[in-house]
Structures are given as structure tokens and as C-alpha cells.
């Protein structure tokens, strides 16, 4: 193997390995999506805590989502002017402490969290110890003992025990024991609370969890209690009011235990509101934010860290190397002749805006009319640069006229004519007319059509949805494109058109 | 299709990619290109080495000079104006005489008439780089108009037929004669429609011709047979071509030689990227000949190289 060829293969392999491994990392580990379709649903939950400040220093503790089976947190913000905040873990989950030396009047604290469904998230608590039997005085003690004994006799395991217990607690015609424990008008929370005590008496680990139902749009989402028990192997969830097992899909666990959501020192008249808004986000964005949270280096140096307008520009620019590779293939392997090496790529970029058929139509129209003017300019015997300038000016005027006429006629696609690269058009017209004079119309038209064909193929390649998505989300694929281009640079075999060109030499075996 | 490619490969046919990637890039150092791309430099080099070229009357280098040509041309009625950096014979204006001294009209070789201003405009276009393949400013050369030897005049339709000799490492490996046609508009370039005919290197006798990519045996316009002509002064053609290698150092070189009725073979221009149609004209692939040359030593002088080639490539 020769030196340069060997080095070429080495470099290309390195490029493919580098691009490919980064691609696989982003795809598999960071979860960037391979397919452009499918949007991910996200929910934004906003909690507003409003209270009257004073007297004295303010210290507010507020539960925030920590363990959220079925959901993952994308991002969260704390918004509270003048307050210091410290998130941390406590027995009931996560809590944020808002503190302030002094304040006056109505204060508002905001907490905002964006979450998405992540079925990989499950309750990951370790097995809890068996609870102590609660120490209570009479008449509760007898009531509890009787009820537990009664329910235990009708159940086989912690699960069925819980179901039976909840049925007893929530049925309308309660017996006396139940009445003593939960009162005359029990709420879901009080039932759940009582159930945990009764379960503790039966030595079953249990706790109340609270959360909200995620819906399309809610201005005031109610806090809903659920009962969670551990049956020795895993946590199980029960609706305290019905005894039905299993968390609904849209239940977002907020905290657990009997604590209140919001506790405050130095404040009163607390009003807390949960509002929920559902939205859709591209999976790319979700993956990107997620790696943001991870503080991944890949993310820091990614396209998505750029301003959105710059991203939009790059979404086009990143396709150019692919167009270039297409041109390389068409020129060096097929052998199509074009005006200017990469002119078809730029024309193809314009086609993205105009759509293919209209693009070809407008391009042909502009070049043909431009050529007529250019042939006339030839007679004026202008110097080269002024002539090029004149052609450019004519092209611009033609674009304007075509836009106006087509707009008047109701063809809105004519407006996109303005997106054609006019300098490229002017140069194409100039080169085509020179070729026309020098080599005749046949060759000029042939090369013109060749350019158009290559532009159309480039467009088809660069407009593939899948390709666009892959290159934009995984720009490291450009290294693979580069490797391909480099390899094409060492292709010394025949071009397809040469098989025809040298057909006379094919005929006889030599 | 693969079968075709296979047959071409077994025939040793050189393709464009291989020519560019393996031959030109390896044997033609880039810094040597200006020697042949700039026809003015080529001409001066050739003169210094005592190689015959058409006489240079003058050069116009800036837009100031565009009206200088009548003075350079002087009393001469026929001359050629061409860009120093032209390619493919583009931008060459062949003036054969004056039709009317009073109206300052000139006769062109294709039968058209051009005014003095028209020629000046052409000079201006050349200088501003219209025909220059590098796209930058160029200069226009005014030189002796080659008068075709009667031997070629009979078979060519207007224009100046020339002989293209392909020189590999200083060994002329293949040659063809190129005859202008009506379609090529007096130009001797194959891709412009001129007809080409391979030449037996040993004897200087022409083989059948090629028009476009097709093989022909007669000139399409004159109807004269193309094959079987014995080119006069063949020795000189080969030796001129071989010496051009020493002049430029380019390992893959196309040498274009014309046969002037008064002065014999003259080097018209050199080409660092000669085309591949010569293979069709000769019905032979180049690579086999290259392989043979690769086995020979490069340290022979031009005449020895010609001698060994005439022996080896006799058909």
C-alpha cells in the first residue's frame, strides 16, 4: 500500500471513530433522539405561596418534588425576591428553606418545576424497618386493636389488609371503632393518616404521600393524598378513599409523611396555589436540558448552547458539507459537469425555500432572461468587471420584477425568488454566456442542465428530514462526512461517463 | 458496467480521476505550472533553449495598452492575439489581413470582419482576465500567425492543425494530429469539435481519427482521408517534444506543435494537464506505455529518449 493512501485510510478511520463514538454517546447515554418525529410532553408546575409577613425573621420551609415515580425533573427555578433559599433533603422528601431577616406586607414565593414522563423512574427507597406500634391512650387503643384484629382476620397479606382497612375507614356506615378514629366527616388525608397508624399497629410500614394530578391546564390543582405501604418487597400505592391499588399515570408525588406542605415562622394568612400547564417539547430539547443538568461537557460545547438565531443559521450551514460530498460524488464518480464547483450546493440551498419544482422554474427563468441581457451587453463591449456588475444588477432587478409579477398573479412562491444567491446567478450567467460564445450553445446548455441536475440531487439529499435531523442533532457526523469526502479524494477509478467516453476502447480486447 | 470498467482497466486506459490523482499530482509539481500556464514564460524559456516557437511581436499588459496593438502589429497584415493564460484555445483571435485600411477593418480567419475597436475590446477582455483560467488579470500576446503547411491545409477545415505529443518523463509516449472542423470553428481542440487522429510514433504515419468520442476515417468537412498520412519532419516533432521536458521538468506534459509552411515545426504551447482523448485517437491506453517508461532510466538525453520510444512504440 502506498504512503498517502495508507495515511488516508488511517485519518478517515480516526474521523469515523471519533464522530461515531461521540454520536453513540449522545444517542445512548444522553438520550438524544435518532428520529425527528415524536414530541415529548412536558408539564410545568408552578407553585405560588403568598403570605402576610412579620413579625420577626421569616423562615419558610416548603416541600418540593424529590422522589417522583414515573416522572423526571427537567429543570426547576426558585423565584423569591429578597429571600435566601436552600434546597435540601429531609425525612419527607426534598424541601426548600426560604429565609429573610425582615419583610413587610404580602410576600410571594415562587417555585417552578418542569417535568416529563420517564418510566425508568421508580421508587428507589430501601426497605423500611418495621414500625413501632403507636402508643395511644384509651379509648383509641381498644378501637385500634379491635379494628386491626378484625381486618387481619379478613385478609391474607399486607396488600389485602390495606384494601380491607381502607374499605372500613371510608365506607359511609362506619362502625363505632372507626368513628372514634377518623371522626364523623373524614377527609382523604385524615383517612390516609389514620390508616398509617393502623398499619403501624399491624407492623406494616406505611406512609402518606401527597401530590397532584397533572392535567392539560389547571389554575388551582388540588393536593391529593395517597397511601403508600411496603409489603416486604416493594412499595405499593392505594387510594385512601376507594382502596384501589396503583398510582394513576398522571399523579406527581410531591412529598411524603404527615408534615404540612408549607411551614412558616414569621408569617400568616398563607395561600398556596398549584398551577399546571402542559406543553410539548422536542425530544432534542429534553435531552439537551437533561445533559445540561448533568453538566455534561458535550452539552457545553454543543450547538444548542448557541443563541436560537445562530442555531437556525447553522441548521442550514451544517447541510453544506453533505451537499459538497454529493457534488464530489456526482463530479468524480459519475462525471457530471457543472458551472462552478459548489454552485449547485448554493442553488440547492435556495431550493429549500422555494421548493424543488418552483426553484427549477425560477432558476431557469432567471438564467434565461439574464442570458438574453448578457448577450446584448456583449455588443456594448464593456470591460469585464463593470459587465459582471451590470449582470448582477440585472439579476437583482429581474428578481424583483419576477417577485412583483408573480405576487400580482397570486403565485406566492414567486416571493421566494429573493432567496436565490444572486452573485452565484450572475456568475452562472456570465460563465454560461462565455461558454456559449466559445464552445457553442450545446455545451453551454448541457452544462447548465448538469448544474441544475446536480443542484436538484443536492437538494434531495439535503432536504431529507432524517438527514437534516441527524446532522443538526449530531453535528459530529460531519467528521464522518469529512472522512467520506477524503476517501473520495483518493478515488482514482473511472468515472461513469468515461465508460461511455472510452467505449471505443472497450470494444476490442487489447 | 463493471465489465466495461474491467475491460478499460485491462486495456490500460487512463481515466480522469487517475490522471489527476496519480499522474499529475505525482509528476507535475505545482510550482512548475506557471512555466506552461503562462505562455509568455513558456515562449521565453523556449527561446532561451533554442527551441523554435512562433515569433512574439509584442505584449499588452494593462488596459492602457489596449490600443497599442496596431503599433506592435505595424505593417504586418496577419497576426494572432491571444491570452497568455488562456485555456483550451479560448480567446485566440487570428487576423489574416486588412480588408480596408481606411475603415480600419480586419479580416479574421473564420471569414468574419472585425473593426479596430473590436480588436481593442477583445484585447481589453483578455487583459481583464475573461479567458484566464485563474480568473485574474492577464496579458495579451501578439505574435506571428502560423501559416499551415500545405500538407495539412488539404485535410483541415480552416484553422491551424497541430500535433499533440504526450510526453511522460521526457519520453514521447503518444501523439495525435488535431484538425479543425466547421464545428470547432477553426480551433484544433478536440472538445470543441476538432477531429483527431492517432500517430504511429515510429513512422509518423496517422491512424484513423476520432471525432468527439467516435472513430472516423475521413475529415467531416473536407472528406479527405485522415488515416495513412505521413507527417513531414516527424523527427523534429518528436525531438522538440522531448526537449520540452527538460525545459519544464513536468513529468506529464502535452506539447502542441504546428507545422509552419516557412519555418517547419514550431512549439505553440505546452499543457500541464493534457486531456485523455489521445487514447481514443490511438485506440491504446496510456498506462501500458507509462509502465514501460517507468522501467527505463530517466537520465537519457532527449534524442536518446526519442530513439528508444520509436523502437518501443512502433505499431
Spell out which residues of chain B touch residue A377, defining contact as CB-CB under 8 Å: none
Of A381, A491, A506, nearest to B8 by CB-CB distance is A506
Residue carrying the nine cell digits 426553484: A359
Q: Do A502 and B280 touch (CB under 8 A)?
A: yes
Interface test with B, best of A340, A499, A500 (most B CBs within 10 A): A499
Spell out which residues of chain A touch residue B15, defining contact as CB-CB under 8 Å: 492-495, 498, 502
Is A360 in the same domain as A476?
A: yes
Q: Do B8 and A489 touch (CB under 8 A)?
A: no
How many residues belong to chain A? 510
pLDDT grade for A291, boundaries at 50, 70 and 90: low
B139-175: per-residue pLDDT in tens?
999 999 988 888 888 788 777 788 999 999 999 999 9
Strands A93-100 and A84-90: antiparallel
> What local confidence, expressed as pLDDT, does residue B131 receive?
84
> What local confidence, expressed as pLDDT, does residue A293 receive?
63
- Residue A51: name the closest of A100, A122, A116 by CA: A100
Say how far apart CA B182 and CA B219 lie, in whole Å: 10
Total number of domains constituting chain A? 3
- Residue A502: name the closest of B1, B6, B8, B211 by CA: B8
Contact with chain A for residue B61, Cβ under 8 A: no
Q: Residue B215's beta-bridge partner residues?
A: B210
How close, in Å, is residue B47 to chain A by CA atoms?
A: 30
Contact with chain A for residue B18, Cβ under 8 A: yes
Strands B195-200 and A267-281: unpaired
Q: What share of chain B in percent tops pLDDT 70?
A: 98
A219-232: per-residue pLDDT in tens?
788 888 888 888 87
All cell numbers assigned to A333: 464518480
B262-311: per-residue pLDDT in tens?
999 999 889 998 988 889 888 889 998 999 898 887 678 888 888 888 88
Say how far apart CA B14 and CA B20 lie, in whole Å: 10
Say how far apart CA B238 and CA A205 lie, in whole Å: 105
Contact with chain A for residue B226, Cβ under 8 A: no
Q: Do A491 and B21 touch (CB under 8 A)?
A: yes
**A18 in any annotated domain:** no
All cell numbers assigned to A167: 374499605
Is A352 in the same domain as A493?
A: yes
pLDDT grade for A297, boundaries at 50, 70 and 90: low
Contacts of A14 (CB under 8 A, 6+ apart): none
Say how far apart CA A291 and CA A96 lie, in whole Å: 24
Of A385, A494, A500, nearest to B15 by CB-CB distance is A494
Is A349 in the same domain as A478?
A: yes
Query: In this predicted model, which residue has the larger pLDDT, A440 or A479?
Result: A479
Instruction: Report residue B230: phi and psi, to 5°.
Output: -95, 110
| 3-class state of residue A235 by DSSP | strand
Q: Which run of H or E residues covers position A277?
A: strand A267-281
A159-172: per-residue pLDDT in tens?
888 888 888 887 77
| 3-class state of residue A189 by DSSP | helix
User: How many inter-chain contacts (A to B, CB under 8 Å) are there?
Assistant: 95
**A433 in any annotated domain:** yes
- Judge if the upstream peptide bond of residue A462 is cis by omega within 30 degrees of 0: no
pTM: 0.67
| 3-class state of residue A93 by DSSP | strand
Q: Do B5 and A491 touch (CB under 8 A)?
A: no
Query: In this predicted model, which residue has the larger pLDDT, A299 or B154?
Result: B154
Task: Average the pLDDT over A108-125 and give the result.
Answer: 77
Interface test with A, best of B6, B15, B134, B184 (most A CBs within 10 A): B15
Residue carrying the nine cell digits 510514433: B201
pLDDT grade for B252, boundaries at 50, 70 and 90: very high
Q: Do A503 and B4 touch (CB under 8 A)?
A: yes
Say how far apart CA A285 and CA A504 lie, in whole Å: 59
**A291 in any annotated domain:** no
How close, in Å, is residue A370 to chain B by CA atoms?
A: 18
Is A277 in the same domain as A322?
A: no
Of A434, A439, A505, nearest to B283 by CB-CB distance is A505
Is A95 in the same domain as A166?
A: no
* Whole-number average pLDDT of chain A: 83
Say how far apart CA A363 and CA A33 lie, in whole Å: 36
Burial profile A31-46: b = 16 or more Cβ within 10 angstroms, e = fewer: ebbeebeeebebbbbb
All cell numbers assigned to A68: 417522583
10 Å CB burial of residue B111 (0-12, 13-18, 19+) is exposed
Q: Is the pLDDT of residue B45 over 50?
A: yes
**A130 in any annotated domain:** no
Is A339 in the same domain as A225?
A: no
How many residues belong to chain B? 315
> What local confidence, expressed as pLDDT, does residue A118 receive?
74
Task: Average the pLDDT over A276-281 and give the result.
Answer: 80
**Which of A12-21, A323-332, B126-135, B190-199 shows the lowest mean pLDDT across its residues?**
B126-135
CA-to-CA dists, residue A509 to A170, B11, B40, B50, B227, angstroms: 98, 7, 44, 43, 22
> What local confidence, expressed as pLDDT, does residue A468 receive?
85
B60-69: per-residue pLDDT in tens?
988 888 888 8
Say how far apart CA A210 and CA A354 lie, in whole Å: 54
> What local confidence, expressed as pLDDT, does residue A421 receive?
83
Q: DSSP string of A11-27?
A: HHHHHHHHHHHHHHIII
Is A331 in the same domain as A424?
A: yes
**Which of A362-366, A468-472, B45-49 shows the lowest mean pLDDT across its residues?**
A468-472
Spell out which residues of chain A touch residue B209, defining contact as CB-CB under 8 Å: none
Is A335 in the same domain as A383?
A: yes
Q: Residue A267's beta-bridge partner residues?
A: A53
Of A332, A440, A499, nearest to B4 by CB-CB distance is A499
Q: Is the pLDDT of residue A510 over 80?
A: no
> What local confidence, expressed as pLDDT, does residue A396 receive?
92
Instruction: Report residue B80: phi and psi, to 5°.
Output: -125, 135
Distance of CA A452 to the CA centre of its chain: 36
Residue carrying the nine cell digits 529518449: B305
Say how far apart CA A11 and CA A22 lie, in whole Å: 17
Task: Average the pLDDT over A110-114 and give the result.
Answer: 88
- Residue A453: name the closest of A325, A330, A290, A366 by CA: A330
Q: Do A495 and B16 touch (CB under 8 A)?
A: yes
Domain with A78 in it: 40-123+263-284
- Residue B81: name the closest of B45, B33, B43, B119 by CA: B119
**A298 in any annotated domain:** no
Q: Is the pLDDT of residue A508 over 60?
A: no
> What local confidence, expressed as pLDDT, does residue B216 receive?
84
* Whole-number average pLDDT of chain B: 87
Is A106 in the same domain as A161?
A: no
| Per-residue three-class SS string for chain B | CHHHHHHHHHCCCCCHHHHHHHHHHHHCCHHHHHHHHCHHHHHHHHHHCCCCCCCEEEEECCHHHHHCHHHHHCCCCCEEEEECCCCCCCCCEEEEEEEECCCCEEEECCCCEEEHHHHHHHHHHHHCCCCCCCCCCCCEEEECCCCECHHHHCCCCCCCCEEEEEEECCEEEEEEEEECCCCCCCCCCHHHCCEEEEEECCCCEEEEEEECCEEECECCCCCCECCCCECCCHHHHHHHHHHHHHHHCCCEEEEEEEEECCCEEEEEEEECCCCCHHHHHHCCCHHHHHHHHHHCCCCCCHHHHHHHHHHHCCC
How many Å is the Cα radius of gyration of chain B? Answer: 19
Task: Average the pLDDT over B220-243 and give the result.
Answer: 89
A204 and A228 Cβ atoms separated by less than 8 Å: no
Say how far apart CA B70 and CA A63 lie, in whole Å: 97
Spell out which residues of chain B touch residue A332, defining contact as CB-CB under 8 Å: 17
Spell out which residues of chain A touch residue B285, defining contact as CB-CB under 8 Å: 505, 510
pLDDT grade for A1, boundaries at 50, 70 and 90: very low
**A430 in any annotated domain:** yes
- Residue A197: name the closest of A183, A181, A175 by CA: A181
Distance of CA B5 to the CA centre of its chain: 29
Q: For residue A276, what is the domain's CATH number? A: 2.60.40.2250
> What local confidence, expressed as pLDDT, does residue A123 receive?
61
Q: Is the pLDDT of residue A472 over 70?
A: yes
Could you give all domains of chain B from N- to C-terminal order, each with its CATH number?
2-52+148-312 (3.30.470.20), 56-143 (no CATH)
**Which of A31-45, A467-481, B69-83 shows the lowest mean pLDDT across its residues?**
A31-45
All cell numbers assigned to A404: 412583483
Alpha-carbon dihedral of residues A33, A34, A38, A44, nearest 10 degrees? 10
Q: Is the pLDDT of residue A256 over 90?
A: no
How close, in Å, is residue A435 to chain B by CA atoms?
A: 9
Our CA angle for B9, B14, B20, nearest 5°, is 130
**A235 in any annotated domain:** yes
Our CA angle for A166, A143, A191, nearest 5°, is 30
A332 and A488 Cβ atoms separated by less than 8 Å: yes
| Per-residue three-class SS string for A100-122 | ECCCCCEEEEEEEEEEEECCCCC
pLDDT grade for A306, boundaries at 50, 70 and 90: confident
Is A438 in the same domain as A473?
A: yes
Report which listed range, A176-185, A252-261, B40-49, is most confident: B40-49
- Residue B265: name the closest of B162, B194, B189, B179 by CA: B162
All cell numbers assigned to B50: 533554442
Residue carrying the nine cell digits 439529499: A461
Sheet of A235-238, strands arranged across: A235-238, A224-230, A206-213, A251-256
Contacts of B75 (CB under 8 A, 6+ apart): none
Our CA angle for B281, B285, B288, nearest 5°, is 140
**A449 in any annotated domain:** yes
Burial profile B90-102: b = 16 or more Cβ within 10 angstroms, e = fewer: bbbbbbbebeeee
Say how far apart CA B203 and CA B228 lie, in whole Å: 11
Q: Is the pLDDT of residue B315 over 70?
A: no
Is A112 in the same domain as A46?
A: yes
Is A94 in the same domain as A155?
A: no
Amino acid at each position: 500500500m502506498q504512503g498517502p493512501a495508507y495515511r488516508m485510510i488511517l485519518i478517515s478511520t480516526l474521523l469515523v471513530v471519533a464522530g461515531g463514538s461521540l454520536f453513540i454517546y449522545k444517542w445512548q447515554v444522553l438520550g438524544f433522539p435518532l428520529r425527528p418525529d415524536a414530541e415529548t410532553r412536558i408539564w410545568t408546575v408552578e407553585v405560588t405561596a403568598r403570605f402576610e409577613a412579620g413579625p420577626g425573621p421569616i423562615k419558610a420551609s416548603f416541600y418540593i418534588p424529590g422522589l417522583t415515580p414515573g416522572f423526571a425533573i427537567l429543570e426547576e427555578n426558585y423565584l423569591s425576591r429578597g429571600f435566601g433559599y436552600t434546597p435540601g433533603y429531609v425525612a419527607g422528601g426534598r424541601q426548600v428553606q426560604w429565609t429573610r431577616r425582615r419583610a413587610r406586607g404580602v410576600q410571594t414565593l415562587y417555585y417552578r418545576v418542569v417535568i416529563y414522563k420517564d418510566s425508568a423512574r421508580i421508587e428507589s427507597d430501601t426497605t423500611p424497618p418495621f414500625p413501632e406500634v403507636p402508643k395511644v391512650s384509651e379509648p383509641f387503643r381498644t378501637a385500634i386493636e379491635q379494628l386491626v384484629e378484625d381486618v387481619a382476620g379478613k385478609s391474607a397479606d399486607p396488600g389485602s389488609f390495606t384494601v380491607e382497612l381502607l374499605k372500613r375507614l371510608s365506607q359511609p356506615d362506619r362502625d363505632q371503632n372507626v368513628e372514634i378514629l377518623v371522626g364523623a366527616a373524614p377527609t382523604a388525608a385524615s383517612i390516609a393518616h389514620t390508616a398509617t397508624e393502623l398499619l403501624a399497629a399491624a407492623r406494616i410500614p406505611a406512609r402518606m404521600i401527597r401530590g397532584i394530578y397533572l392535567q392539560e391546564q389547571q389554575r388551582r390543582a388540588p393536593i391529593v393524598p395517597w397511601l403508600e405501604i411496603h409489603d416486604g418487597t416493594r412499595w405499593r400505592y392505594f387510594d385512601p378513599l376507594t382502596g384501589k391499588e396503583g398510582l394513576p399515570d398522571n399523579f406527581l408525588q410531591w412529598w411524603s409523611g404527615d408534615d404540612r406542605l408549607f411551614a412558616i415562622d414569621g408569617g400568616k394568612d398563607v395561600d398556596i396555589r398549584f398551577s399546571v400547564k402542559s406543553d410539548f417539547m422536542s425530544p432534542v430539547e429534553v435531552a439537551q436540558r437533561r445533559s445540561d443538568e448533568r453538566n455534561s461537557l458535550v452539552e457545553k460545547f454543543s450547538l444548542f448552547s448557541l443563541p436560537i438565531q445562530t442555531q437556525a443559521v447553522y441548521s442550514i450551514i451544517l447541510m453544506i458539507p453533505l451537499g459538497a460530498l454529493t457534488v464530489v460524488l456526482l463530479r468524480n464518480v459519475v462525471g457530471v459537469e457543472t458551472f462552478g464547483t459548489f454552485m449547485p450546493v448554493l442553488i440547492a440551498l435556495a431550493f429549500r425555500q422555494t421548493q424543488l419544482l418552483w426553484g427549477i422554474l425560477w432558476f431557469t427563468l432567471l438564467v434565461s432572461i439574464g442570458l438574453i441581457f448578457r448577450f446584448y451587453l456583449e455588443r456594448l463591449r464593456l470591460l469585464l468587471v463593470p459587465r459582471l456588475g451590470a449582470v448582477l444588477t440585472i439579476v437583482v432587478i429581474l428578481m424583483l420584477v419576477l417577485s412583483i409579477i408573480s405576487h400580482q398573479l397570486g403565485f406566492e412562491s414567486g416571493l421566494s425568488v429573493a432567496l436565490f444567491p444572486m452573485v452565484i446567478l450572475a456568475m452562472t450567467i456570465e460563465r454560461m454566456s462565455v461558454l456559449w460564445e466559445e464552445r457553442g450553445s450545446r455545451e453551454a446548455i448541457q452544462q447548465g442542465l448538469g448544474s441544475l441536475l446536480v443542484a436538484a440531487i443536492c437538494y434531495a439529499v439535503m432536504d431529507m428530514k432524517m438527514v437534516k435531523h441527524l446532522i443538526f442533532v449530531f453535528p459530529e457526523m460531519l467528521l464522518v462526512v469529512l472522512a467520506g469526502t477524503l476517501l473520495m479524494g483518493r478515488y482514482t477509478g473511472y468515472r461513469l461517463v468515461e465508460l461511455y467516453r472510452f467505449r471505443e476502447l472497450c470494444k476490442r480486447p487489447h | 458496467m463493471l465489465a466495461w470498467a474491467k475491460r478499460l482497466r485491462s486495456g490500460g486506459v487512463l481515466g480522469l480521476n487517475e490522471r489527476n490523482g496519480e499522474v499529475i499530482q505525482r509528476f507535475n509539481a505545482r510550482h512548475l505550472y506557471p512555466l506552461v500556464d503562462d505562455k509568455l514564460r513558456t515562449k521565453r524559456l523556449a527561446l532561451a533553449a533554442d527551441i523554435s516557437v512562433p515569433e512574439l511581436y509584442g505584449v499588452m499588459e494593462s488596459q492602457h495598452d489596449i490600443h497599442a496593438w496596431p503599433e506592435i502589429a505595424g505593417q504586418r497584415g496577419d497576426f494572432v492575439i491571444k491570452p497568455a493564460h488562456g485555456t483550451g484555445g479560448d480567446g485566440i483571435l487570428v487576423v489574416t489581413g486588412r480588408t480596408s485600411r481606411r475603415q480600419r477593418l480586419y479580416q479574421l480567419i473564420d471569414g468574419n470582419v472585425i473593426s479596430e475597436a473590436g480588436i481593442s475590446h477583445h484585447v481589453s477582455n483578455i487583459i481583464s482576465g475573461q479567458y484566464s483560467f485563474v480568473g485574474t488579470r492577464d496579458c495579451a500576446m501578439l505574435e506571428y500567425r502560423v501559416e499551415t503547411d500545405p500538407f495539412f491545409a488539404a485535410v483541415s477545415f480552416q484553422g491551424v492543425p497541430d500535433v499533440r505529443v504526450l510526453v511522460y518523463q521526457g519520453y514521447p509516449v503518444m501523439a495525435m494530429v488535431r484538425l479543425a472542423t466547421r464545428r470547432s470553428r477553426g480551433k484544433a481542440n478536440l472538445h470543441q469539435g476538432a477531429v483527431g487522429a492517432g500517430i504511429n510514433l515510429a513512422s509518423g504515419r496517422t491512424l484513423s481519427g476520432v471525432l468527439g468520442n467516435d472513430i472516423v476515417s475521413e475529415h467531416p468537412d473536407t472528406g479527405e482521408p485522415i488515416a495513412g498520412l505521413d507527417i513531414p519532419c516527424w523527427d523534429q516533432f518528436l525531438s522538440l517534444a522531448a526537449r520540452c521536458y527538460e525545459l519544464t521538468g513536468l513529468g506529464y506534459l502535452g506539447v502542441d506543435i504546428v507545422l509552419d509552411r516557412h519555418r517547419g515545426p514550431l512549439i505553440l504551447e505546452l499543457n500541464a494537464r493534457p486531456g485523455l482523448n489521445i487514447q481514443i485517437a490511438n485506440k491504446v491506453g496510456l498506462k501500458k506505455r507509462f509502465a514501460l517508461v517507468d522501467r527505463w532510466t530517466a537520465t537519457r538525453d532527449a534524442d536518446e529518449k526519442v530513439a528508444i520510444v520509436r523502437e518501443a512504440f512502433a505499431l
